[in-house]
Chains A and B, each alone.
Chain A
Amino acid sequence: MKRCKIQFILPALAGLTLLSACGQNSESEPASEAASAELPNGMTVKEQIEARQGQLKKMGKAFKAISDQLKAGSPDVAQIQTAAAVVPKEAVGMADWFPAGSGPESGVETEALPVIWENTADFNDKVTALQEAAAQLETIAQGGDVAAIGAAFKTTGGTCKACHDKYRLDD
């Protein structure tokens, strides 16, 4: 009886392993197809994801430039102004960087969570909040008041975090 069971279990396991291997194959193939699928805006999913990552990195760079100056004993206001002008410029059209189909289901490496496309209205609100805060930061930076810039920088950073906490994979 026992032997019988083992004789059944082993081929069953082997079969399951094969099946799951097949499953993986059939899953990964449409994924690479999805990556090169064209979006309504004419970009492929891969291009779209890489483009938005590039934009966000530029903004991260600009934030670091501002944060570096705010940390310094005597901040260089001109450098803050240059960096603060980058953020609203690079953030233009941000809501459109996340068309349906450009999430992790495409198989392209992205930290964007699927929950973005379940809460599009809230996601877009958060994007708008960043764009407004960044515009405000640029205006205040032109004024040159370091304390006010520091406060506006915090507010802008808060709008980044508000979105990232909910819609980006925790790293």
Chain B
Amino acid sequence: MTTSPSKILVWDWTIRLVHWLMVVLVPLLWWTAEEGHMDWHKSLGLTMFSLVLFRLIWGFMGSWTARFVPMVRRIGSLRPYLGTLRNRQFAPTFGHSPLSVLSVFALLLALVTQVTTGLFSVDVDGLESGPLAIWISFETGREAADIHEFNFKILSLLIGLHLIAIAIYRFVIKEKLVWPMISGHRDRQDFPSDLLPENRAHLLPVIIAATLSLASVFALVNLG
């Protein structure tokens, strides 16, 4: 490890940047939609689209704790993990715990649904629409908008659960999860294993994932 020996990198900088940008964007997207600032809503929505896409690509070529395959494998140890929570024999997971893997996938699915339906949504007056609504009828665009609206409730619910879980970990299990999501690091001694995977964000995959997600947004804007 290249970091100081007492600390270890759990979340690489791209994961943290994407996470906190999403934290800023979700309330802004909600507010711009409520107030009818649709030009802003569309620009911010496309930004969100590129972040979600980056995260999905990063799940295949990113740092170890960001990768989907080890995350999916970890779901298998959900039952013993829940047991350790109950017995108060909690030991932190390097990366997402088996329970938080489920939370991450649910949140990502809700975000994918939200940005995808947003691209096709048409407002009730036919005056405003997402960049791909040009391909579909008014009626189908209205259905996309209905899903867009309903799915936001699901997304809000999942975000609420996420916050409650963080509070439970903080005050019941005495695990501070917010600081590592800011600094990226945890104490090396939190993890007894000697064989922790190398977890840095390498430059080349960052460039590839960022280029792919930005290029998709430009393609979307030009298609619409």
Which residues does A use to contact B, with CB under 8 Å?
A: 57, 59-65, 67-68, 71-73, 157, 160-161, 164, 171
- List the A side residues contacting B133 at CB < 8 Å: 64, 68
Which residues does B use to contact A, with CB under 8 Å?
A: 36, 122, 124-129, 131, 133-134, 137-138, 141, 149, 222, 224
- List the B side residues contacting A64 at CB < 8 Å: 122, 126, 129, 133, 138, 141
Q: CA separation between A154 and B134, bound complex, in Å?
A: 18
Q: CA separation between A62 and B129, bound complex, in Å?
A: 13
**What's the least CB distance linking B29 to chain A, in Å?**
17
Residues A160 and B125 in contact, CB atoms below 8 Å apart: yes
Most chain B CB within a 10 A radius of its CB, from A64, A72, A161: A64
With contacts A60-B138, A61-B138, A72-B134 taken as known, whether A67 is within 8 angstroms of B127 at the C-beta atoms is yes
- List the A side residues contacting B125 at CB < 8 Å: 60, 63, 157, 160-161, 164
Residues B126 and A59 in contact, CB atoms below 8 Å apart: yes
| Pick from A62, A71, A72, A161: contact of B126, CB under 8 Å | A62
- List the B side residues contacting A171 at CB < 8 Å: 124, 149
Q: How many inter-chain residue pairs (CB < 8 Å) link A and B? A: 43
Q: CA separation between A61 and B123, bound complex, in Å?
A: 10
Residue of B nearest to A68 (CB): B134
With contacts A68-B133, A68-B134 taken as known, whether A60 is within 8 angstroms of B126 at the C-beta atoms is yes
Q: CA separation between A60 and B149, bound complex, in Å?
A: 19
Q: CA separation between A79 and B129, bound complex, in Å?
A: 18
Q: CA separation between A60 and B138, bound complex, in Å?
A: 8
Q: CA separation between A60 and B125, bound complex, in Å?
A: 5
Most chain B CB within a 10 A radius of its CB, from A62, A63, A73, A164: A63
- List the B side residues contacting A73 at CB < 8 Å: 222
**19 interchain pairs, CB-CB under 8 A:** A59-B126, A60-B125, A60-B138, A61-B126, A61-B137, A62-B126, A63-B125, A63-B127, A64-B129, A64-B133, A65-B126, A68-B133, A71-B224, A72-B134, A157-B127, A160-B125, A160-B127, A161-B127, A171-B149
**What's the least CB distance linking A131 to chain B, in Å?**
16
**What's the least CB distance linking A151 to chain B, in Å?**
14
Q: CA separation between A171 and B224, bound complex, in Å?
A: 25
Q: CA separation between A59 and B123, bound complex, in Å?
A: 12
**What's the least CB distance linking B72 to chain A, in Å?**
38
**What's the least CB distance linking A82 to chain B, in Å?**
15
Residues A63 and B126 in contact, CB atoms below 8 Å apart: yes
- List the A side residues contacting B131 at CB < 8 Å: 71
- List the B side residues contacting A71 at CB < 8 Å: 129, 131, 134, 224
Q: CA separation between A164 and B141, bound complex, in Å?
A: 20
- List the A side residues contacting B126 at CB < 8 Å: 59-65, 67
Residue of A nearest to B134 (CB): A68
- List the B side residues contacting A57 at CB < 8 Å: 138
Residue of B nearest to A170 (CB): B34
Q: CA separation between A73 and B222, bound complex, in Å?
A: 8
Residues B124 and A60 in contact, CB atoms below 8 Å apart: yes
Q: CA separation between A72 and B132, bound complex, in Å?
A: 11
**What's the least CB distance linking A160 to chain B, in Å?**
5
- List the A side residues contacting B141 at CB < 8 Å: 64
- List the A side residues contacting B134 at CB < 8 Å: 68, 71-72
- List the A side residues contacting B128 at CB < 8 Å: 67
Q: CA separation between A63 and B126, bound complex, in Å?
A: 5
**What's the least CB distance linking A166 to chain B, in Å?**
13
Most chain A CB within a 10 A radius of its CB, from B125, B131, B149, B224: B125
